[in-house]
Structure 1
Amino acid sequence: MTSSKSIFRIVIGIYLLLFFAYMFLPLIFMTIIAFNANDIPQITPWKGFTLMWFGELAKDDQMWSALWNSFIVAFSVVAISVPIGLGGALLLTRLQFKARNFVYGVLVSPILTPGIILGISTFLFWDSYLNIPGGLWTAILGQSTFISTYCMLLIMSRAQRFDLTQEEAAFDLGATHRQVFWKITLPFLKPALISSMALAFMQSFDNYNTTLFAIGVEQTLPIYIGTKLRSFISPAMNALAVIFIILTVIGAVVYEVRRRREMIKAGVKITPEPAAQVIRM
Structure 2
Amino acid sequence: MSSQRLLALGLRFYVVVFFGYLFLPLLVMAAATFNDSRFPTVTPWDGTTLRWFGELAADGGMWQALANSAVVAAGVLCLAVPIGIATALFLNTVSSRAKPFLYALILSPLLTPGVIIGISTLIFWRELGVTGGRFLTVLGQSTFIAAYVMLMVTARLQRFDRTMERAALDLGASQWQMFRRILLPYLKPAIYSAAVIAFLQSFENYNTSLFVVGHDTTLTVYIASKVRTGLTPAVNALGLILILVTVALAIVYEVKRRREAARTRSSI
Shift of the alpha carbon at 1:46?
2.7
What corresponds to 1:107 in structure 2?
106
Q: Supply the distance in 1 between the matched residues of 2:68 and 2:122 (Cα, whole angstroms).
A: 17
Trace 1:128-139 onto structure 2 (pairs within 5 A): 129-139=127-137
Name the count of aligned residue pairs.
Answer: 266
User: How much has 1:254 moved relative to structure 2?
Assistant: 2.3
- Shift in Å at residue 146 of structure 1? 0.4
Report the equivalent of 2:19.
20
Tell me what 1:193 maps to. Answer: 191
Structure-2 residue corresponding to 1:227: 225
Q: Which residue of 1 aligns with 2:169?
A: 171
CA-based RMSD of the aligned residues comes to: 1.8
Match of 2:89, as an amino acid?
L
Question: What residue identity is the alignment partner of 2:233?
Answer: P
From 211, 216, 219, give the equivalent of 1:218: 216
Q: Output the CA distance in 1 between the equivalents of 2:48 and 2:200.
A: 32
2:7 — aligned with what?
A: 8
User: Secondary structure at 1:267's aligned position in 2?
Assistant: helix
For the 8 Å contact 1:81–1:200, the answer to whether it is kept is yes
Large movers: runs of 4+ above 4 Å: none
Partner Cα separation in structure 2 for residue 98 and residue 5 of structure 1:
47
- Partner residue, 1:207: 205
What is aligned with 1:96? 95
Please identify, of 39-48 and 132-141, the stretch whose mean Cα deviation from structure 2 is larger. Answer: 39-48
Normalising by structure 1, report the TM-score.
0.88
CA separation of 1:7/1:121 partners in 2, compared to 1, >3 Å: closer, same or farther?
A: same
Q: Distance in 2 between matches of 1:228 and 1:246?
A: 23
Shift of 1:97: 2.4
Equivalent pair of 1:123/1:215 in contact (CA under 8 Å): no
Contact 1:41 1:233 in 2 (8 A): yes
Partner of 1:126: 125
Structure 2 segments unaligned to the other structure (5+ residues): none
- Cα offset for 1:173? 2.4
Shift of 1:219: 0.6
TM-score, normalised relative to structure 2: 0.92
Q: Sort the Cα spacing of 1:124 and 1:47 in 2 relative to 1 into closer, same or farther, 3 A.
A: same
Which runs of 5 or more structure 1 residues have no equivalent in the other structure?
269-281
- SS of structure 1 residue aligned to 2:96: coil
Aligned mates of 1:82, 1:42 — CA distance in 2: 39
Cα offsets for 1:156-180 (capped at 9, x unmatched): 1111222222222222222222222
Say whether the 8 Å CA contact 1:33–1:41 is kept in structure 2: yes
Using the TM superposition, give the Cα deviation of residue 213 of structure 1 relative to its aligned residue in structure 2, in angstroms.
1.4
Inter-partner Cα distance in structure 2 for 1:148 and 1:263: 30
C-alpha separation between the residues in 2 aligned to 1:203 and 1:71? 12
Specify the code of the residue in structure 1 equivalent to 2:19.
F
Deviation at 1:83, TM superposition (A): 0.9
